[in-house]
Amino acid sequence: MARSIDSAAQRRKLLGEIARLAEVAIFGTLSETYRTCGQAGCHCQGDGLKHGPHLNVSYRGEKGKTTGYYVPKAAQEATREGSPPGKKCRNVYENWRS
């Protein structure tokens, strides 16, 4: 009986941690891209520096298909801060499932 109590307490603790992390977590992979524009004569058209970085998040959507979205500059800092909690949340969830 003591083991089931410990197990129940551990499950509650893990679920609480998942809930806390999920409030700030970003689930997906962050990537930065550099792009060229369509403006003739722009420095990005040749060997010059490209425009960017542009932050994107990719993740598995419905039916396992990879999808993603662009992150506006105003949200980039918060998105970067949410990536480590997302990884930790996945790890805690895997521990909870086992």
Indicate the helix (H) or strand (E) that contains 22. helix 2-22
Give pLDDT, residue 67.
Answer: 92
Spatial neighbors of 92 by CB under 8 A, at least 6 apart, are 14, 17, 18, 21
Give pLDDT, residue 1.
Answer: 42
Q: Which residue shows structure tokens 């524009």?
A: 37
Give pLDDT, residue 39.
Answer: 92
Give pLDDT, residue 49.
Answer: 92
Per-block mean pLDDT, blocks of 10 residues, the chain (98 long)? 62 78 78 92 89 91 90 89 78 72
Domain-wise residue ranges, the chain: 2-97
